[in-house]
Amino acid sequence: MQEKKYFIYLISCLALFVPVPAHLGYGIIVLFLHTILLFTLFPIIKYLSNNEHAQFYLYLIFISLTILFYLLFSVYSPVIMFTLGFTLFLVPISPILMYHIEIKNSTQNFNYQSLLKTIAFLNICTLIFFSARELLAWRSLSLPLPKGIYFLFPAYKMPILFWASIPGALCILAFFLALLSFINRLREKNL
């Protein structure tokens, strides 16, 4: 049951990243914010778990942190933040989901190590997802630099539009999740 819960969480998180453009550079930024938000769950669990208004504080903290991240990162690269725009505000949904799926009902004996493992696994999956999208579409990988998204290797003159598009991203997501599910089944058989 626990495995299934995390799998559903993983699907919903990666689905939130589908509208983000198919560049690893954007993925790194989104992932950075995502990790910050997930780590803020630790103090929230510790200090606010018994508070009646914990949920309200949680939403307020996540929204404020996202706006703050948007503003501060705009100083580093305004073009990237301008391009991402409202897409960035989809990211807080994921830690909110995490709070509702896992933490809300198990605050007394909450396993912090399990949360850390989930964060690490989720980050690796997200990086693979964005890299696969960019490699298939542009034959390159990119980094976020102050002037914009910078290609590390020579990219295609014209990308393979399907993989750069949102339907293509959904196909990659489906393939990736099928692969994860297959690995999971194999592991269960061996145990």
Partner 1 sequence: MNKKKLYEIGLLFFITIATFLFLFLISIAVKKNTNRHFIQILQSFVNERYTLSQKNYFVDSSQSSIYVFDAENIKTKKQVAISLVRITGICGPSAVIFVSDDDSSPEFLGKIDLQSTEKQKLSTNFFENNANTVCIDKNQITYWANKVKKTIAQKDL
Which residues contribute to the site for partner 1 (CB under 8 A)? 19-23, 52-53, 56-57, 60, 64, 67-68, 71-72, 74-75, 78-80, 82-85, 87, 137, 145-151, 154-155, 157-159, 161, 164-166
For the bound state, the minimum distance from the C-beta of residue 187 to partner 1, rounded and expressed in Å, comes to 34
Least spacing, CB of residue 84 vs partner 1, in Å:
7
Tokens of 174: 């489906």
Least distance from partner 1 to the Cβ atom of residue 96, Å = 17
> For partner 1, which is the closer residue by CB, 20 or 98?
20
Q: CA-CA distance, 113 to 115, in Å (whole number)?
A: 5
- Residues whose CB is less than 8 angstroms from the CB of residue 51 and which lie 6 or more positions away in sequence, other chains included: 57
Q: Is the distance from CB of 99 to CB of 58 less than 8 angstroms?
A: yes
Contact between residue 127 and residue 104 where contact means Cβ atoms under 8 Å apart: no
Q: How far is the CB of 149 from partner 1 (least distance, A)?
A: 5
How many residues comprise the chain? Answer: 191
Residue type, 63: I
23 vs 34 by CB, closer to partner 1? 23
